[in-house]
Chain A
Amino acid sequence: MQNSPEILNELMAVSPLIAGLDKVNVFKVPEGYFNELHLRITDFTIINNTSSPDNTNATNLQHVPEGYFDSLSDSILAKVKIAYSENTEIERDSALLQSLKDINVFTIPNGYFEALTDSVLSKTKTSHAEKAEEELREISPMLYSIKGENVFTVPRGYFESFADEIIEKIKPQPAKVITMKKRTSWFKYAAAAVVAGIISVTSLQIFNNSHNSDVSSLPADVQISFKYKTQDDINNGIAKLSDDDIAKYLEKNGNALDNELLTNNADVSEMPGTTDYLNDANTLNNYLNKIDAENVGKLTP
């Protein structure tokens, strides 16, 4: 018997004494044991699997009846069926037992099997909770000890009414219905005729005016507008306006000014932020004073 060099080296390192010993097998087996071993094993297996007295002779073991293995599975299955066919057995042994067979004297709570999945799942869930608790106890016993405390409070009845509130919000709001008064058909035609009349008279007037270039027949403010033909004319005109004229114009048309236009043109870089208003109640006044001093001063001539 020889060892591989690695194993021998390893053994040398561990115990040079053992490594130096000759490898001698002190155990002996009967002569020819291994040559006949397979026959002995086959012999043993067949003796245990068959009761046929003809097969006890070891020399004949290798010979089985023709087609034995082909029909072996069927014959085993047939025996199993007979052995486990309770009906046949009970029917044969006792008709009384057969009649009692389907009567169950044990009762289970109503809906037990329906709820079984639920209870198993809830136990699985508990085991999740247990795992989480176990983990926490390992990481921090202190946090584990204060786990059950809830410091937050909720208004009374909050959860009871919450679902109803949401349902109310998601319900489509009924559209506002405005009932229209029925008008007679002559009213429709009369209205259409009036509108058509107004349009034709106005267009005729404008057409005639543009041909005759007679601005004197136009309203006074329209006549003035004819004076301003270029951008320079408009700029000069505005420059000539007095503060009173501008104030009167704003008084009359101030409401029509577009807020969005104002916001877009405003310089927001200097404007106070949301937090400034929270920190100082005088923020708005300060800002307006600053505008007065810096910007309005510049605008006035």
Chain B
Amino acid sequence: MSPQADDQELLQSFKDPLTREKAFTGIIKKYQEKLYWHIRRMLVDHDDTNDVLQNMFIKVWKGLENFREDSQLYTWLYRIATNESLTFLSQQKKRSSVSLSDVESGLSNKLRSDTNFDANKLEWKLQLGIQNLPEKQRLVFNLRYYDEMPYEEMSKVLDTSEGALKASYHHAAKKIEEFILNH
């Protein structure tokens, strides 16, 4: 079954009160890992990610009834996950009354405090490089590098033109490479 057809079936059975919960479980199971990693790469910490993922699915439950099926469920879920992650980061910033760059350095510190952290390993340097990027570039880089999302889809998720996204990804990759080489 194609992912698209599958979504349509899930949405269809969500409309029926008798199969609603089962359909919603299906939606969660289908997208939980992708969305988890999308959020985790933005927030770094598992507990923060879990909070945001749970809240977003509760919002999805409430909003799914009004979901317009002319847009893709997959794109819609990524949009919500992205917005929820950004809201979380800005709330964190307000709560601690520090600037966003401090929040970002906080994310780098969270990485460094991981029990498996190894500053000499390339993969950890890569993560530090990603956290060193401005928020929007970080999102674009993650969606392309890890999720391999086509620019067309990404432009729907981030409300940005495909050209700007391509440029953003190129800049981000170059910046990360530079970061890795200098650290």
Contact = CB atoms under 8 A, between A and B. Distances in A.
B21 interface: yes
Interface stretch (B8-16, B81-89, B123-131): B123-131
Contact of A162 (B2, B28, B114, B145): B28
Interface in A122-159: 122, 128-129, 131-133, 135-136, 139-140, 142-143, 146-147, 149-155, 158-159
Interface stretch (B65-73, B132-140, B156-164, B168-176): B168-176
Interface string B7-33: 000000000000001001100110011
Interface string A108-128: 000000110110011000001
A159 B53 CA distance: 11
B79 interface: no
Interface in A151-179: 151-155, 158-159, 162-167, 169-171
User: For the side of the interface on B, what is the size category?
Assistant: 35 or more
B76 interface: no
B21 A142 contact: no
B180 A142 contact: yes
A136 B173 contact: yes
Nearest to A129: B148
18 contacts: A117-B2, A133-B148, A139-B170, A139-B173, A143-B177, A149-B122, A151-B124, A151-B127, A152-B44, A152-B46, A163-B28, A163-B29, A163-B32, A166-B54, A167-B24, A167-B25, A167-B28, A274-B95
Given A136-B144, A154-B46, 14 more contacts: A115-B1, A117-B2, A132-B148, A142-B177, A150-B123, A151-B123, A151-B127, A153-B46, A158-B50, A163-B28, A166-B54, A166-B58, A169-B54, A275-B97
Interface of B: 1-5, 21, 24-25, 28-29, 32-33, 36-37, 40-41, 44, 46, 50, 53-54, 57-58, 61, 95-98, 114, 116, 122-124, 126-127, 144-145, 148-150, 169-170, 173-174, 176-177, 180
